[in-house]
């Protein structure tokens, strides 16, 4: 039996998913320095980019209606925190590749579809802690979104997270050189963060921003979440977000199935 046949025939089923989840949870709690930064980052975002700017614009126009700026930018912070997990997915996948853990997991029957979802565990814990901090701060200053909306947003964030963690896994598998990978992540992060309506409205944005925002998956994710918060649910934005997450997930699974069994990390 060839290695590829062995990989395809030996399957752990759902148990493989829980194995990956357990490994990623242990990795999270063993990275104390990362944990500290995950706690401080949302606090800084909220204090400086939400509360600080609020003094100059309390309510402003979003899709033809006046909305509360803190509620608006709270969702923007959620979006930035979610996309920042892409680098975490890259980091965890590269470790698996570099030290031969990926082929070991595949040889032992962990199916690619469970591997991709399981590798979202580390980012998932990070995002949950961070959005909870941001929401708690907004409650403290009495400008929070409703608790019901927050619960929906948390679950919807998981779908958005699948998109970005899958993209991180794809980048890890397709770009073999760590320098090129770091450059790519650095180049992607700022345009993705700020061509989407994170802290501003697209209602009066320049044409080039409008064009770039329509090419940015984060735009659709933010619009979908804000449609829930402001009581005008946009099923088109939700549908686009679901479709993009599913496509990215399937592509990541496709690449994992064909991942080389020997490390090519440079």
Note the pLDDT tens digit of each residue in 195-230: 999 988 888 889 999 999 999 999 999 999 999 998
C-alpha 188: how far from its chain's center? 13
d(Cα 229, Cα 238) in Å, to the nearest integer? 13
H or E element at residue 64: none
- Whether the per-residue pLDDT at 247 is higher than 90: the answer is yes
| Per-residue DSSP letter, 109 | T
Longest dimension (CA), the chain: 68
Extract the tokens encoding 226. Answer: 């804000």
Within 13 Å and on the Cβ side, how many CA atoms surround 79? 27
In a domain, 184, yes or no: yes
Buried b (16+ CB within 10 A) or exposed e, 25-44: eebbeebeeeeeebeebbee
Residue that wins the pLDDT comparison between 95 and 13: 95
Whether residue 266 is contained in a domain is answered as: no
Asked if the structure places residue 199 within a domain, the reply is yes
Contact status, residue 89 vs residue 123, Cβ threshold 8 Å: yes
Assigned domain for 263 exists: no
Name the residue range of residue 42's domain: 3-257
User: Which residue in 128, 124, 108, 126 sits closest to 116, CA to CA?
Assistant: 124
Q: What is the mean pLDDT of residues 129-144?
A: 89
**Looking at 28-37, 148-157, 182-191, 256-265, which range is the least confident one?**
256-265
Q: What is the mean pLDDT of residues 141-162?
A: 90
Q: Residue 124: inside a domain, yes or no?
A: yes
Highest mean pLDDT among 6-10, 58-62, 178-182, 184-188: 184-188
Whether 262 is covered by a domain: the verdict is: no
pTM for this predicted structure:
0.88
Residues 85, 189 contacting (CB under 8 angstroms): no
pLDDT in tens, 40-91: 999 999 988 888 777 666 567 787 788 888 888 999 999 999 999 998 889 8
CB–CB of 171/181 below 8 Å? Answer: yes
Q: How many CB atoms lie within 10 A of CB 150?
A: 20
Query: What span, in angstroms and rounded, lies between the C-alpha atoms of 53 and 47?
Result: 9
Checking if the pLDDT of 130 tops 90, the result is yes
**Rounded CA gap, 266 and 249, in Å?**
25
* Overall average pLDDT of the 32-37 stretch: 77
If one counts the domains in the chain, the total is: 1
Would 265 be classed as within a structural domain?
no
Q: Do the beta carbons of residue 20 and residue 110 sit within 8 Å? A: yes
């Amino acid at each position: 039996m060839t290695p590829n046949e062995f990989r395809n025939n030996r399957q752990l089923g759902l148990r493989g998913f829980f194995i990956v989840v357990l490994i990623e949870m242990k990795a999270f709690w063993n990275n104390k320095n990362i944990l500290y930064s995950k706690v401080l980052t949302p606090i800084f975002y909220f204090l400086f980019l939400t509360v600080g700017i609020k003094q100059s614009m309390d309510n402003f126009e979003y899709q033809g209606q006046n909305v509360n700026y803190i509620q608006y930018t709270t969702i923007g912070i959620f979006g930035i925190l979610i996309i920042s997990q892409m680098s975490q997915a890259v980091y965890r996948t590269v470790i698996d590749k570099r030290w031969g853990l990926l082929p070991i997991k595949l040889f032992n029957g962990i199916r690619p579809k469970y591997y991709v979802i399981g590798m979202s565990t580390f980012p998932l814990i990070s995002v949950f802690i961070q959005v909870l901090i941001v929401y708690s701060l907004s409650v403290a200053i009495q400008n929070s979104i409703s608790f019901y909306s927050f619960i929906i947003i948390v679950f919807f964030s998981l779908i958005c997270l699948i998109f970005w963690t899958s993209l991180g896994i794809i980048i890890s598998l397709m770009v073999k050189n760590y320098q090129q990978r770091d450059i790519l992540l650095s180049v992607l992060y700022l345009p993705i963060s700020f061509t989407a309506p994170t802290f501003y409205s697209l209602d009066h944005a320049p044409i080039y921003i409008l064009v770039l925002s329509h090419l940015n998956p984060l735009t659709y994710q933010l619009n979908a979440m804000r449609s829930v918060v402001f009581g005008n649910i946009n099923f088109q934005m939700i549908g686009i977000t679901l479709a993009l997450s599913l496509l990215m997930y399937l592509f990541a699974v496709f690449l994992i199935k064909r991942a080389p069994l020997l490390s090519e990390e440079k």
